[in-house]
Structure 1
Amino acid sequence: MLAASRQALPPVRLLCLAIAATGAAPLANAAFIEDSSASLTATNIYLNRDFRQFEGQNKREEWGQGFRLDLQSGFTEGTVGFGVDAMGLLGIKLDSGRGRTGTDLLPVHDDGRSADEFSRLGLTGKVKISATELRYGSHVPELPVVKASDSRLLPQVFEGGLLTSSELEGLTFTGGRLDKVIDRASTNSEEMVLNAKNRRFTSGVEADHLDLAGVDYKFAPGFTGRYYFADLDDIYRQHFFGLLSSHKVGAGTLSSDVRYIVSRDSGAANAGKVDNQAFNAMVSYGLGSHKFGLGFQDMSGDTGFAYIDGSDPFLVNFVQINDFANADERSWQARYDYNFASIGIPGLTFMTRYIRGDDARVAGSDDRGGEWERDIEFKYVVQTGPLKDLYVRVRNASFRSDFARDADENRVIVGYTLPIW
């Protein structure tokens, strides 16, 4: 199976033709070839999620292998530079079974069985003038208002156009329109859908496109301010305000990440009312091999947090299983990281965190509920030799809730990126 953006291809083809037309001038195309790069990333994931005391399917367990081939050209020389990138994605089933599907590692057929393999092709045309670049085609964005999920075999991919500009020192502007999405366990290009976790909103509500614009500004040493605006067509408008900081304090480093997000319904508001203010912040202190962090997240307004289904909400308490983003929910996080290099094991790291949420208001109930999650992770990265940079991650999570399904989850992830040229 092969899927690509039908809407994105025609402009990309035109751009390819424009680049090919410069073939008569080899010198003009020197940078196009010399600055190109290619890499192959292999990701192997085993995922087991056990739902505690739940009727129906009480277990999801699958194992798969993913491959991602990234081909990136340079730009043709001249005032206006042209280029083309390609992304080939392939997922292969290693183990699954009817009744164990739904991990989002693999697509699921109508008969309840997972696909043996699935693949996609993404093409992106790009144009560059000075420090401004326009890209049209396939994207894996990591922005406060749209963050593609990349925690399975293949990443979630959005289609459309994005422009970035760094003409002014310390300031980066990002803007554009995304009009389709291919979820991580899919080959189909589809409309964007509003996430309806815990019945926060009407399920299945689709948007024609997402418009976005924002700036990142380093206004002082160690400080970066962020503002982004997004409009998910006829569903919600969102304003994001953020502040990042990092400074030496004593013998260690104190860093903070403060975010405030305002979401309101817009247009036809087919999802019903969207009314949410999300304040969340993470403060960390790193000292030698140790790092301690405290996080706080508060939801206010009439609804929970609004974001695109399948994507990762840009919240500090969005963790391995849960997002702690129900209406009125207030949650705290305590986190600890340790680097074993200090005791002679370079490449080995450890992380654990505990998140507790209270006073959550769930649709269809007058009761208030609480929930908690505990995560543990070990990661080892090979430091030398032919397998340098190969990594192994072992992740464990336990989640308990007064109103959602309890779950215990284990993941084993092995990954490696091979530079081709």
Structure 2
Amino acid sequence: MLHHRISLLALGILASTAALAEDQSTAKGFVEDGHLDLLFRNGYMYRDYKHGRDDKSEWGQAATATFTSGFTQGTVGVGADVFGMYALNLDKNGARAGAPGIDFFKQDSDGNPASDLARAGGAVKARVSNTVIKYGDQMPALPVLSYDNSRLLPETYSGTLITSKEIDGLEINVGRFTSEVRKSAEGHDSGGLKRIDVYGGSYKFTDNFSGALYAQDNEDVARKQYMNLNYVIPMADRESLTFDFNGYKTKLNKDWADEFNSGNRDNTIWSLSAAYNIGVHTFMLAHQRNNGDTGYLYGGYQSGDYIGDGGTTIWLANSYWSDFNGEDERSWQGSYSLDFSEYGVPGLSYTVAYVYGDNIKTEETSNGKEREIFNQLKYVVPSGPAKDLSVKLRGSWVRVSNDARSYNDDGNEVRVFVEYPVNIF
């Protein structure tokens, strides 16, 4: 039934193109509209675990080349996107490697991390009017299938994605993906991913109000729905108040839940934030709440507590190192961000956040607690030969009550990332 719904929706999108805007008419050509970009990334992550757990860290240097073509001229434009990636392990200490949350370099059967990684992929695409269909290796960034690019190399998925923007303010996405490549691996190592269908869209109702509805069907694993509402209230000059609601509802497959999740299947999680922006200052308050007989599951490689739908498929307010997604957990956040441009340092920004969670249900308690202090300092070179080079320093401190350690545990985390994007043409 889901396959028929996706097919009908895709046909409806394509059929509507003749009567609407014809952006394909502006196509200049495969090479003429194309561009080649390089990204150099040096990443280091260190996790200082408590209560006898070994500390973990990984460090590496990566380079990614991406060619994104334009579309050929004509009613139907065709093109191709190609990428090549290489990562070198700068710290091959097997004793410190292997933290699931770092995952720079995959370990072999003896626990030794790879010394380097090389990966390449590509996709073909076609455009009619303002609708694009793309097939091949992709990095989908949808709330129900969101690839992780926060480590050394990104996740990629293989499949088909249709993106339509025929109606002003409306974007519709329909896709099917059948395999994934994990961040730390070279080949398609999906850990059992059979098929994940994604569909939905976002709409800008007014200049200040937008919303989105999406869903996924992860074969033999889960079904998930997502909703977003975002409303911006302009105030005085350079002042605004933004309300942002995000929510997921998940139903795990019974057989999968019986095998990996003690039979627990249902989850609803949502967050509501209010951000006040005045000039270079942003103050935010947020509340997040989790309900059901299991915590919110996402990402990973479809084994154990993971369901293979992308390492950032948690578009919620209180997700930092901890996601505050334990069973029945409630959490509150206060954060502050500062752009230093008005203080003589353009390109420098700082964010600090405090998140407190309680009511966590485990086998030991129904009121476990956790808290996190998050800090991030980032500098982006604004001009000159090193324009757009960025340095990001991030630190998190997580503390969890003793009766909730089966859900999460204490630790300190440090991340240092240096990136340098270069446009060749």
**TM-score normalized with structure 1 length:** 0.86
- Structure 1 residue aligned with 2:9: none
**Identity over aligned pairs, percent:** 33
- Structure 2 residue aligned with 1:360: 360
Q: 1:75 aligns with which of 63, 71, 74?
A: 71
- Structure 2 residue aligned with 1:219: 205
Q: Please report how far the alpha carbon of residue 32 of structure 1 lies from its aligned counterpart in structure 2 after TM superposition.
A: 1.0
Q: For residues 178 and 66 of structure 2, what CA distance do their matches in structure 1 show?
A: 22
Q: Please report how far the alpha carbon of residue 88 of structure 1 lies from its aligned counterpart in structure 2 after TM superposition.
A: 0.8
- Would you say the 8 A contact 2:133–2:161 is kept in 1? yes
Q: Is residue 88 of structure 1 aligned with residue 84 of structure 2?
A: yes
1:316 aligned counterpart, secondary structure: coil
- Would you say the 8 A contact 2:318–2:355 is kept in 1? no
Q: For residues 186 and 318 of structure 2, what CA distance do their matches in structure 1 show?
A: 26
- State how 1:323-402 maps to structure 2 within 5 Å: 323-362=323-362, 364-402=363-401
- State how 1:270-349 maps to structure 2 within 5 Å: 270=257, 271=260, 272-309=263-300, 311-349=311-349
Q: Please report how far the alpha carbon of residue 139 of structure 1 lies from its aligned counterpart in structure 2 after TM superposition.
A: 1.5
Q: Please report how far the alpha carbon of residue 275 of structure 1 lies from its aligned counterpart in structure 2 after TM superposition.
A: 0.4
Q: Which amino acid aligns with 1:35?
A: D
Q: For residues 297 and 30 of structure 1, what CA distance do their matches in structure 2 show?
A: 47
- Structure 1 residue aligned with 2:8: none
- Structure 2 residue aligned with 1:31: 29
Change (3 A) 1:112 1:234: closer
- Would you say the 8 A contact 1:137–1:160 is kept in 2? yes
1:95 aligned counterpart, secondary structure: coil
Corresponding residue pairs, total: 378
Q: For residues 315 and 329 of structure 1, what CA distance do their matches in structure 2 show?
A: 17
Q: Which amino acid aligns with 1:44?
A: N
- Would you say the 8 A contact 1:163–1:174 is kept in 2? yes
Change (3 A) 1:80 1:170: same
Q: For residues 343 and 337 of structure 2, what CA distance do their matches in structure 1 show?
A: 15
- Would you say the 8 A contact 1:158–1:179 is kept in 2? yes
Q: Please report how far the alpha carbon of residue 161 of structure 1 lies from its aligned counterpart in structure 2 after TM superposition.
A: 0.7
Q: Which amino acid aligns with 2:196?
A: L
Between 252-261 and 165-174, the greater mean CA deviation after superposition: 252-261
Q: Which amino acid aligns with 2:92?
A: S
- Would you say the 8 A contact 1:282–1:316 is kept in 2? no
C-alpha offsets along residues 84-123 of structure 1, whole Å, 9 cap, x if unaligned?
Answer: 1101111111123121112312222222222111011111
Q: Please report how far the alpha carbon of residue 338 of structure 1 lies from its aligned counterpart in structure 2 after TM superposition.
A: 0.6
- State how 1:1-40 maps to structure 2 within 5 Å: 31-40=29-38
Q: 1:254 aligns with which of 235, 238, 241?
A: 241
Q: For residues 54 and 357 of structure 1, what CA distance do their matches in structure 2 show?
A: 24
- Structure 2 residue aligned with 1:46: 44
Q: 1:418 aligns with which of 404, 415, 422?
A: 422
- Would you say the 8 A contact 2:288–2:318 is kept in 1? no
Q: Which amino acid aligns with 2:371?
A: W
- Would you say the 8 A contact 2:92–2:115 is kept in 1? no
- Would you say the 8 A contact 1:47–1:62 is kept in 2? yes
1:155 aligned counterpart, secondary structure: coil
Q: Please report how far the alpha carbon of residue 190 of structure 1 lies from its aligned counterpart in structure 2 after TM superposition.
A: 2.8
- Would you say the 8 A contact 2:286–2:318 is kept in 1? no
Q: Is residue 209 of structure 1 aligned with residue 214 of structure 2?
A: no
Q: Please report how far the alpha carbon of residue 318 of structure 1 lies from its aligned counterpart in structure 2 after TM superposition.
A: 4.9
Q: For residues 103 and 252 of structure 2, what CA distance do their matches in structure 1 show?
A: 29
- Structure 2 residue aligned with 1:199: none
Q: Please report how far the alpha carbon of residue 134 of structure 1 lies from its aligned counterpart in structure 2 after TM superposition.
A: 0.5
C-alpha offsets along residues 240-285 of structure 1, whole Å, 9 cap, x if unaligned?
Answer: 1111122312341111220122111347445533201112122211
- Would you say the 8 A contact 2:40–2:420 is kept in 1? yes
- State how 1:152-163 maps to structure 2 within 5 Å: 152-163=151-162
C-alpha offsets along residues 287-324 of structure 1, whole Å, 9 cap, x if unaligned?
Answer: 11110011111001111113232512324245332111
- Would you say the 8 A contact 1:54–1:405 is kept in 2? no
Q: Please report how far the alpha carbon of residue 176 of structure 1 lies from its aligned counterpart in structure 2 after TM superposition.
A: 0.8
Q: For residues 190 and 108 of structure 2, what CA distance do their matches in structure 1 show?
A: 20
- Structure 2 residue aligned with 1:107: 106
C-alpha offsets along residues 141-186 of structure 1, whole Å, 9 cap, x if unaligned?
Answer: 2111111111111011111111000111111100111111111111
Q: 1:405 aligns with which of 404, 409, 415?
A: 409
- Would you say the 8 A contact 1:315–1:323 is kept in 2? no
2:37 aligned counterpart, secondary structure: strand
Between 324-333 and 97-106, the greater mean CA deviation after superposition: 97-106
Q: Which amino acid aligns with 1:37?
A: H
Q: For residues 127 and 250 of structure 1, what CA distance do their matches in structure 2 show?
A: 45
- Would you say the 8 A contact 2:161–2:174 is kept in 1? yes
Q: For residues 89 and 252 of structure 2, what CA distance do their matches in structure 1 show?
A: 40
- Would you say the 8 A contact 1:207–1:234 is kept in 2? no
Coordinate RMSD, CA, aligned = 1.8
Structure 1 unmatched runs, 5+: 1-28, 193-205
